[in-house]
Amino acid sequence: MEAVKTLIQEGKTALGIELGSTRIKGVLVDYAGNVLAVGFHDWQNSFVGGVWTYGLDEIHAGIRDCYASVRKEVEDRYGVRPTTYGAIGVSAMMHGYMALNKEGEQIAPFQTWRNTNTQKAADELTDLLGFNIPLRWSVAHLYQRVLDGEDHVKDLDAVYTLAAYIHMKLTGERVIGIGDAAGMFPIDSQTHDYDQGMVDKFDRLMEPYGFGWKLRGLFPKVLVAGDQAGTLTPEGAAFLDETGALKPGIPFCPPEGDAGTGMVATNAVAPRTGNVSAGTSTFAMLVLEKPLSKLYREIDMVTTPTGFPCAMSHANNGTSDLNAWVGIFKEFSELMGYETNMGDLFGKLYTNSLKGDPDCGGLLSYGYYSGENVTFINEGRLAFLRTANSRFNLANFMKVNLYTSLGAVKIGLDILMKDEGVRVERITGHGGLFKTKGVAQRYLAAAVGTPVTVMDTASEGGAWGIAVLAAYLADKKDGEKLEDYLDRRIFAGLSGTTLEAEPDEIAGFETFMDRYKKGLAIEREAIKDMDW
């Protein structure tokens, strides 16, 4: 305890803050990645004017409250108030559109990754660039605003992801980590920058509109892991820590998206490694040895935080509907006079699902709160389906809702692993879905047909990942690569578990997926008819 207190007082720690979809989380670590303190701020997106968004006041208040939560945890546990750190890192849900004018004012609603209102722009840009531009990417949002004739576009001075915006707020620097930048615009992994040929094509596309900006002037400068991305300004320190204790001058690592921090949190930053992050959205990342043979609209081509090309199967919808069902069971429990907490409910319901049939007993569900790009469905409808012959019981009910949280992402993984033959030596799972040991991990192993590892730090997720990236900046040796730093200095002493699915479990998941794909026709009809 005294040793840790000394580290905190001397600033030999790293702080990571990640703005996730349902929670802003702060994690303080030492340079070996050991978690010293954790803080939270819970929040939810809003659907306003047809847009999934968070208000700017919510964003500002949320990150300050999260930091206050970390600070209080440090004070309560170690009896000292932190005034400095070796380095700080900020990450957030990747993609999206944060638009500011020259005065630094927000001039359009923040659009999150969840929005799928960019179909025309994404299609046209994909054709123009010969590169898959997903609906969520910042350039798709930007071009769609142009196509829609939105008045604010002429006044643009900067377009950010959420992580890059918060980083700018704290440091004054208009920069972004390469992994997060890869959710804004295609990246050239050789130059570690936006692909210049594609930048030129986009700028030529914009010329007839007569705007006074070009893409590189709007989008933040690209940096890689290990680069210093600025320091905490006096204004940033006052913004983050309302007590005034935090000192300016603290170095920052490049801001990253939750995909990049997930790679770090699972030690999946080198070729032939992969990870699956499962939470409000679910995405799988496989680091490639060579380019894919062709363009797939289901697959995002992004990068690791150091610039390795990486194929992503990104599902907009993950555990939101699953969480809602657990909430219903909590209501029932309270109605019957039994007080319980959500942690116990998740644990018992998830574990009980292991008793279900390998194919979920013929049940089918879709947790489509919003559109799903992997299945080319641009609006969300929630559905639970069964036949008279289905084996409808609690275990199968929970199992199908767990399976479906991996359904869309498996479609992309099948393209990569079956059609493209991408070789993966290990897949690691992380995120809230894996908090109950041995359940979602087993189902993911069944989905991918390969062993899946979950580290003991899995529930800390991307906030721990960005803290580790900050520690890498503060404590890396000359020439030390990120993958070597993770192997030798972070993960060498960490423990985890590896599970391999049985053949009948793999076959059961495949049967579920056959039904999942057939049932998409029902989803499309629901969009037409369910307009209330």
What pLDDT is recorded for position 233?
98
What pLDDT is recorded for position 456?
75
Section 225-245 average pLDDT: 97
Q: For 238-297, how does the pLDDT look when each residue is reduced to its tens digit (9 = 90+)?
A: 999 999 999 999 999 999 999 899 899 889 999 999 999 888 889 899 999 988 999 999
Least Cα distance to 222 among 263, 166, 169, 173 occurs for 173
pLDDT band at 494; cut points 50, 70, 90: confident
What pLDDT is recorded for position 455?
82
What pLDDT is recorded for position 460?
66
Q: Are 229 and 220 in contact (CB under 8 A)?
A: no
Measured in whole angstroms, how far is the alpha carbon of residue 186 from the centre of its chain? 18
Secondary structure of residue 14 in the 3-state scheme: strand
What pLDDT is recorded for position 195?
97
pLDDT band at 495; cut points 50, 70, 90: confident
Per-position DSSP letters for 169-231, written without gaps between them: HHH---EEEHHHHTTTS-EETTTTEE-HHHHHHHHHHHGGGT-S--HHHHSPEEE-TTS---B
Task: Give the residue with greater pLDDT, 262 vs 209.
Answer: 209
Question: Percentage of residues in the chain with pLDDT exceeding 90?
Answer: 88
For tokens 């060579």, the residue is 290
Lowest mean pLDDT of 231-235, 276-280, 288-292, 408-412, name the range: 276-280
Secondary structure of residue 43 in the 3-state scheme: coil
What pLDDT is recorded for position 291?
87
> How many Cα atoms occupy the beta-carbon half-sphere of 255 within 13 Å?
32
What pLDDT is recorded for position 412?
96
Q: Determine the Cα–Cα distance for residues 342 and 390; give it in Å rounded to an integer.
A: 28
Is 483 a residue whose pLDDT tops 70? yes
Q: How many CB atoms lie within 10 A of CB 456?
A: 11
What pLDDT is recorded for position 133?
96
For tokens 């972004």, the residue is 176
Phi/psi for 452 (5° steps) reads -125, 130
pLDDT band at 457; cut points 50, 70, 90: low
Q: Determine the Cα–Cα distance for residues 476 and 239; give it in Å rounded to an integer.
A: 29
Radius of gyration of the chain from its Cα atoms, rounded to whole angstroms: 22
What pLDDT is recorded for position 462?
86
What pLDDT is recorded for position 432?
81
pLDDT, mean over the chain: 95
- Sequence-ordered alpha helix ranges (H) in 387-502: 394-404, 407-414, 440-448, 461-475, 482-485
As given in the structure block, the two tokens for residue 27 are 């994690």
What pLDDT is recorded for position 278?
86
Q: Is residue 426 classed exposed, middle or buried when 0-12, 13-18 and 19+ CB atoms within 10 A define those classes?
A: middle
Is 459 a residue whose pLDDT tops 70? no
Is 461 a residue whose pLDDT tops 80? no
- Can you list the positions of beta strands (E) in 304-381? 309-315, 364-367
Q: Determine the Cα–Cα distance for residues 154 and 111; give it in Å rounded to an integer.
A: 18
Pairing label, strands 46-48, 35-42: unpaired
Which amino acid would we find at residue 152?
Answer: H
Task: Give the residue with greater pLDDT, 433 vs 172.
Answer: 172
DSSP code, position 244: S
Q: Which helix (H) or strand (E) holds 257?
A: strand 256-257
What pLDDT is recorded for position 520?
97
As given in the structure block, the two tokens for residue 14 are 């790293």
Q: Distances from the Cα of 80 to the Cαs of 2, 5, 38, 342, 440, in angstroms? A: 11, 7, 15, 32, 39
**Which sign, positive or negative, has the C-alpha torsion 299, 302, 303, 305?**
negative
The answer for residues whose C-beta is within 8 angstroms of residue 73's C-beta and 6 or more apart is: 28, 37, 38, 39
Q: Are 301 and 198 in contact (CB under 8 A)?
A: no
Is 94 a residue whose pLDDT tops 90? no
Edge-first strand order for the sheet with 87-92 is 35-42, 23-29, 14-19, 87-92, 256-257
The answer for residues whose C-beta is within 8 angstroms of residue 338's C-beta and 6 or more apart is: none
DSSP code, position 433: G
Lowest mean pLDDT of 54-58, 264-268, 456-460, name the range: 456-460
What pLDDT is recorded for position 279?
83
Is 493 a residue whose pLDDT tops 80? no
Q: Determine the Cα–Cα distance for residues 223 and 90; give it in Å rounded to an integer.
A: 14
Q: Distances from the Cα of 389 to the Cαs of 141, 258, 352, 363, in angstroms? A: 45, 41, 22, 10
Question: Angle of helix 2-10 relative to helix 56-78, nearest 10 degrees?
Answer: 140
| CB contact burial 255-275 (16+ within 10 A = b; e otherwise) | bbbbbbbbbbbbbbbbbebbb
The H helix count followed by the E strand count for the chain is 18, 22
Q: Are 75 and 81 in contact (CB under 8 A)?
A: yes
Q: For 98-151, how does the pLDDT look when each residue is reduced to its tens digit (9 = 90+)?
A: 999 999 999 999 999 888 899 999 999 999 999 999 999 999 999 999 999 999
Least Cα distance to 236 among 299, 283, 173, 179 occurs for 173
As given in the structure block, the two tokens for residue 210 are 């007569």
Secondary structure of residue 392 in the 3-state scheme: coil
What pLDDT is recorded for position 458?
60
Q: Determine the Cα–Cα distance for residues 278 and 406; give it in Å rounded to an integer.
A: 8
| Global pTM value | 0.84
Section 294-313 average pLDDT: 94
Task: Give the residue with greater pLDDT, 162 vs 379.
Answer: 162
